[in-house]
Copies of this chain bind each other. A is one copy, B any other.
Amino acid sequence: MLGGNLTGGTTVSASQSPAQTGTQQSIRLDPWLDRYADRTAGLSASEVRALFAVASRPEVVSLAGGMPFVSALPQEMLQDAARIATTTRRGEALQYGSGQGIPYFREQICEIMSLEGIHAHPDDVVVTTGSQQAVDLVSQIFLNPGDVVLAEGPSYVGSLGIFRSYQAETVHVPMDDDGLIPQALRETIARLEAAGRPIKFLYTIPDFHNPAGVTMTMERRREVLDICHRHHILVLEDNPYGLLWFDRVPPEAIRSLDSEGVIYLGSFSKIFAPGFRIGYVLAPHAIREKIVLANESAVLSPTTFGQIMISEYLDHNDWRGQIDTFRGLYRDRRDAMINALDEQLPTLPKTHPNGGFYVWLGLPEGFDSKEMLPLAVHELVAYTPGTAFYADGTGQDHIRLSFCYPTPEEIGVGIQRLAKVIHREQDLLDTFGTSPRPAVDTQHAVSTPPPDTL
- Complex CA gap A132/B33 in Å reads 24
A348 at the interface (CB under 8 A from B): no
Which of A415-454 touch B at CB < 8 Å? 448, 450-452, 454
| Closest B residue by C-beta to A168 | B37
Are the CB atoms of B82 and A132 closer together than 8 Å? no
Interface centre among A100, A284, A298, A301 (most CB of B within 10 A): A298
Segment at the interface with B among A71-79, A330-338, A361-369, A371-379: A71-79
Which of A81-100 touch B at CB < 8 Å? 82-83, 85-87, 90-100
Please tell me the size bucket of the interface on A.
Answer: 35 or more
User: A142 to chain B: which residues have CB within 8 Å?
Assistant: 35-37, 40
User: A35 to chain B: which residues have CB within 8 Å?
Assistant: 142, 200, 232, 234
Interface residues of A, dominant DSSP: helix
Distance (whole angstroms) from the CB of A354 to the closest CB of chain B: 24
Identical chains bound together, number: 2
Are the CB atoms of B45 and A70 closer together than 8 Å? no
A290 at the interface (CB under 8 A from B): yes
Q: A32-B287, A43-B290, A305-B275 are in contact. Are A451 and B97 (CB under 8 A)?
A: yes
Bitwise, A88-118 to B at CB < 8 A (1) or not (0) is 0011111111111001000000000000000
A322 at the interface (CB under 8 A from B): no
User: A234 to chain B: which residues have CB within 8 Å?
Assistant: 32, 35
The one of B39, B98, B287, B289 that contacts A451, using a Cβ cutoff of 8 Å: B98
A129 at the interface (CB under 8 A from B): yes
Are the CB atoms of B297 and A165 closer together than 8 Å? yes
Interface centre among A75, A82, A141, A454 (most CB of B within 10 A): A82
Are the CB atoms of B70 and A91 closer together than 8 Å? yes
User: A130 to chain B: which residues have CB within 8 Å?
Assistant: 299-300
The one of B40, B96, B287 that contacts A67, using a Cβ cutoff of 8 Å: B96
Interface centre among A97, A100, A132, A297 (most CB of B within 10 A): A297
A187 at the interface (CB under 8 A from B): no
Bitwise, A266-295 to B at CB < 8 A (1) or not (0) is 000100011111000000111111101110
Interface residues of A (CB under 8 A from B): 9, 11-15, 28, 30-33, 35-40, 43-45, 67-68, 70-71, 73, 75, 78-79, 82-83, 85-87, 90-100, 103, 123, 129-130, 132-133, 136, 140-144, 147, 158, 161-162, 165-166, 200, 232, 234, 260-261, 269, 273-277, 284-290, 292-294, 296-306, 309, 448, 450-452, 454
The 5 closest A-B pairs by CB, nearest first: A30-B286, A94-B273, A70-B94, A82-B82, A275-B304
Task: Show 24 residue pairs from A and B whose CB-CB distance is below 8 angstroms, ordered by the A residue.
Answer: A12-B289, A13-B292, A31-B260, A35-B200, A36-B141, A37-B142, A67-B95, A73-B94, A79-B83, A79-B87, A82-B85, A94-B275, A94-B276, A96-B275, A97-B275, A132-B300, A158-B297, A158-B300, A165-B297, A275-B303, A276-B306, A303-B306, A305-B309, A306-B306
